[in-house]
Amino acid sequence: DGGITQSPKYLFRKEGQNVTLSCEQNLNHDAMYWYRQDPGQGLRLIYYSQIVNDFQKGDIAEGYSVSREKKESFPLTVTSAQKNPTAFYLCASSLGYQPQHFGDGTRLSIL
Amino acid sequence: AQKITQTQPGMFVQEKEAVTLDCTYDTSDQSYGLFWYKQPSSGEMIFLIYQGSYDEQNATEGRYSLNFQKARKSANLVISASQLGDSAMYFCAMREGADNYGQNFVFGPGTRLSVLP
């Protein structure tokens, strides 16, 4: 089955530590996105990528970094510069004008 | 300024009744797309329905329909015959621009729908 796989489902970060969230898709979609969702809130765009080796900052990119070395993969690194990283992170992909497809999300907490 | 406004933080509906979730949007583009997603408590985002700005007919998908009023910049979601499983957060979203292939989507703040037995 085609879809988007996010891992891990739950992640804990220690102070001063970088962590990487994985997002893989086998839908052959060109565009991929990372969103952050705080409790009871909507989605805020962190980064998006339209093609391999290219990505743009979204509304809240500070403290995050991404790479897009392969079409299928768009990992998100939450750096130690992100002072309030506790949130639910959603990865999505899309093709042309089609709706975005989402992964099941990763819940990140601070130890 | 907010591009997507959902004025109802929470809504209640009796099982088997219809409910309308409001969404207004702001764009200067002529070509754009409007989407509704459902997010159950488990967290995944489920695509429900899509309306293109040039579509003359309102979109329908099973029990979901989109009441599109372009002049008012309104794209309300109507759920008919509500079921207990419809209890979730609902997000309205917009993608702007015909040339913005893969451009970022903008999401509204969401409406929490609770279906009462």
Could you give the CA distance from residue B111 to residue B90 in angstroms, rounded to a whole number?
Answer: 5
Q: Please give the residue of chain A at the shortest CA–CA distance from B42.
A: A104
pLDDT in tens, A7-58: 999 999 888 899 999 999 999 999 999 999 998 888 999 999 989 999 999 8
Residue A63, C-beta contacts closer than 8 angstroms, at least 6 positions apart: A78, A79, A81, A82, A83, A85
Nearest by CB: B33 against A42, A90, A97: A97
- In Å, the largest CA–CA distance within chain B is 46
% of chain A exceeding 90 in pLDDT: 73
Average pLDDT for chain B: 91
B37 has pLDDT over 60: yes
Chain A residues within an 8 Å CB radius of B93: 100
Kindly list the residues from chain A whose CB atom is less than 8 angstroms away from the CB atom of residue B50. Answer: 99
Q: In chain A, what residues touch B42 (CB-CB under 8 Å)?
A: 104
Percent of chain B as helix, strand, coil, to the nearest 5: 5, 50, 45
- The pLDDT score that the predictor gives to residue A96 is 78
For A95, which residue in chain B has the nearest alpha carbon?
B102
Q: What is the pLDDT of residue A59?
A: 87
Task: Give per-residue pLDDT as tens, B15-35.
Answer: 999 999 999 999 988 888 999
Backbone angles phi, psi at B84, to 5 degrees: -55, -35
- pLDDT computed for residue A24 by the predictor: 97
pLDDT above 70 as % of chain B: 91
Mean pLDDT of chain A: 92
In the three-class reduction of DSSP (H, G, I as helix; E, B as strand; rest coil), residue B89 is classed as strand
CA distances from residue A75 to A2, A21, A105 in whole angstroms, order as listed: 18, 6, 13
The pair of structure tokens assigned to A96 is: 């042309």
